[in-house]
Amino acid sequence: MRRTAAQAELTRLALLDRALDAFEENGWQGATFDDIARRAGVTRGALNHHFKNKAELLTAALDHGWSIYGAILFADFGEGHDPREFLRSMLVRYVQLLQTDPKFRTLACTTVMVVPEASGLTEYVAAPLDGWQDYVAPLIPEGLTAPGLSVEASSGLLLTILQGFTVTARNRPEALPQADQLIAAAAAVVRGILP
Query: Please, what is the average pLDDT of the chain?
Result: 85
> Within the chain, what is the greatest distance between any pair of CA atoms?
66
User: Mean pLDDT throughout 39-46?
Assistant: 90
Burial class (CB in 10 A: 0-12, 13-18, 19+), 33: middle
Cβ–Cβ < 8 Å for 139, 81 = yes
Q: Residues 122-144: pLDDT tens digits?
A: 565 556 666 677 777 777 777 77
- Quote the CA–CA distance of 106 and 22 in Å, as a whole number: 9
Mean pLDDT, residues 9-16? 89
Average pLDDT over every residue of 61-76: 85
At residue 82 the predicted structure's pLDDT band, cuts being 50, 70 and 90, is confident
Report the distance separating Cα 12 and Cα 70, nearest Å.
Answer: 20
Residues 6 or more apart whose Cβ sits within 8 Å of residue 105: 97, 98, 169, 170
Minimum mean pLDDT range among 23-27, 146-150, 177-181: 146-150
Q: Is the pLDDT of residue 120 over 70?
A: no
Query: What pLDDT sits at residue 129?
Result: 61
Tallying the residues shown for the chain, one arrives at: 195
Q: Where are the domains of the chain?
A: 5-193
As a whole-number percent, the residues of the chain with pLDDT over 70 amount to: 89
Interacting residues of 23 by C-beta distance below 8 A, sequence separation 6+: 31, 58, 61, 110, 114
Q: How many other CB atoms are there within 10 angstroms of residue 135's CB atom?
A: 16
Which CATH code fits 5-193?
Answer: 1.10.357.10
Tens-digit pLDDT profile for residues 83-115: 788 888 889 999 999 999 999 999 999 988 888
Asked if residue 26 lies in contact with residue 36, where contact means CB atoms within 8 angstroms, the answer is no
- pLDDT of 72 reads 85
pLDDT at 76 over 60: yes
